[in-house]
Structure 1
């Protein structure tokens, strides 16, 4: 046993990927624990109906994040990584980002204020949470600034700082949610979804303090039309596809509410949350490590090495974790939620089957962002979004609630096969 542990320690020390993975695992553990607390409070105090409405708010907030930030989070990672050693190029990139971000965020804020009642009706139906919609518009610039700064830290390969900020956000999320849900019930729970990203900006500012000199290098005179064109391509690529997913989830959830009821929509939201918990480890690792590495990779052989290294070192652990989660599914539902949510346990198999193929595909999909493969990304993501939506609408009336996860699984299998076909020559046949 001692020799095994020693070999494991040596392997971690020699692999940057495993070093990041080991530190990131602690952040994931914290998020799972705080997420467990939030989910438990939601289940006990608000029930499946409350969970469904909070899910709608989260999807709507993600939608507004995409628009107000221009969908540029991954672009900021890419250009920060590429220009971190070139002060003049970084200043030009930052200046263009700041001015375009101000314009995008201002437009979105105005739209939210003007159409707050319509947005409220779309998200919450007959419930009146217009005040929260307007609060969201007011704090949106803080959200955007936090998104940009976090992406810059990722581009600078400041993995430990990003992880520390994430840990702080998980803890703050639990504390603020508990405070507001006890104080104002469902309204407080939904308000916490809006306020946490705003408060997180102060943690992020603390961790980027050493870069204040470089971050103050932006000016209107450094605005670059070629860089704006590059950012515009990223915005086009991200907004068309990424905006579709929150809309798809809102559409599916509203379809479930209208056909099966709010409780069933809450059960689906429960399996989505559990899925998010066990995917935290892999998805955060993809964002934190894989994207910057793919941005720096110059050859096909480097791309292959990154992809197969991930498959060999991380994928077996992920598969083993899925098996354990499936075997303990009833206990997990009771632990995270309550007995009332046990119908969600019937959704695990198809959900996890789809999630496995999702990860198989996503590690390759990040190459679309890293190398600005715009149309590949847009068309495959549009296929994925439409596949998830229409498969759910097809299967739900025929097999009930389980239809939504059957559609999820089948769509991701086809999605993986499409992505694999796009990269098959590079992965298996190219020698460069």
Structure 2
């Protein structure tokens, strides 16, 4: 969060709202290509490396299949990015020419994928201290490289930093995984496993739909804002999203570290209900209090994180925070999809959410202007909460 605040401040000072909007587009594009090039398999690598780390034969079969799967996905994605770089540039940056950045992204993408997989292996091997050290180093490096490049070559430098940081981080990750090189390299590519490929394909299908749809939605909304309201307005929206991500970080961390393990252990509907209601009673009041404080201090927060130039973004806070409130209400139940492997529930509700965010923005922006994007955010997350509540209604309300 601290380094993120530093990056936001540098962006505000040197690039303004326009630069923030373009960086947001590139981050969404990079996220999209990460998902495709890694096959959306980061969570699968965590799962199967944890399950098979004490079984050399099974681990070798998993590694062989993963490398074939990942290699093909990475080569295809790299080729598409490189040979269609002009089209991708137009999609991400509209009329601005950053084709060079797109081609650099294509060339360093294999390093990104290797970094993603190695960090997932460390998680599977329960090397959480090393994962934390890598993440800390990544954020510090991001701030330093971003600051240096933005000072030297302005917007192009900022965009280049976004693309280069994950590849440079591979050096840190390799250092922390060197103790496992023997395990990771003890496989034969001939041990390709069709059953393992099927398992990996299921993970890829489940996580790619969600992982691809949301970056595409945010890219689409931001481009619609740029074309209809301008880059400055898109930058105000991006600054609101960043502040939202900062305070949601606390709640999402709590859900990942505390709620998800409890839901995974719960065996009955009654236990599920007790976990959900306990969260609503014990944690939700503090979250509401935090939202109220952020809203009351919104002018000061925007000046602190960004600059005076971004103060019009404060007009977006109410609807953004109302949507975030319903988002948290829903997410605590949505984690049951992950805990109990409810794949189709997860996919269909995520598609509903992504399409709702996109089409509500496209409908409301021409009618009410920039505020339409956050009104659509609030409306969509309210409907999403109702949908999730409907899915779990028996467990929450009717089950005695």
2:4 pairs with 1:35:
yes
Who is 2:174 aligned against?
205
- Aligned pair partner of 1:414 in 379, 383, 390: 383
What are the ranges of 5 or more consecutive residues in structure 1 without an aligned counterpart?
A: 1-31
- Aligned pair partner of 2:293 in 324, 334, 342: 324
Q: Aligned to 2:187, what secondary structure does the other structure show?
A: coil
- Assess, with a 3 A threshold, how the Cα gap between structure 1 residues 217 and 409 changes in structure 2: closer, same or farther: farther
2:126 pairs with 1:148:
no
Matches within 5 A, 1:327-406: 327-406=296-375
Matches within 5 A, 1:55-74: 55-74=24-43
TM-score, normalised to structure 2, is 0.91
Cα RMSD (Å) of the superposition?
Answer: 2.5
Distance (Å, rounded) in 2 between the aligned partners of 1:323 and 1:209: 47
Matches within 5 A, 1:154-173: 154-173=123-142
Matches within 5 A, 1:11-160: 32-160=1-129
- Assess, with a 3 A threshold, how the Cα gap between structure 1 residues 97 and 289 changes in structure 2: closer, same or farther: farther
8 Å CA contact 1:159, 1:288 repeated in 2: no
Superposition deviation, residue 328 in structure 1: 1.1
Distance (Å, rounded) in 1 between the aligned partners of 2:49 and 2:277: 25
Superposition deviation, residue 284 in structure 1: 4.1
Who is 1:5 aligned against?
none
Superposition deviation, residue 367 in structure 1: 3.7
2:162 pairs with 1:187:
no
Distance (Å, rounded) in 1 between the aligned partners of 2:143 and 2:69: 33
Superposition deviation, residue 190 in structure 1: 0.5
TM-score, normalised to structure 1, is 0.85
What do the CA deviations read for 1:246-276 (whole angstroms, capped 9, x no partner)? 1111111111111111110110011011111
Q: Aligned to 1:222, what secondary structure does the other structure show?
A: coil
Distance (Å, rounded) in 1 between the aligned partners of 2:267 and 2:188: 31
Distance (Å, rounded) in 2 between the aligned partners of 1:322 and 1:299: 33
Superposition deviation, residue 291 in structure 1: 5.4
What do the CA deviations read for 1:358-414 (whole angstroms, capped 9, x no partner)? 223223333434444322122111110110011111111222111111110111121
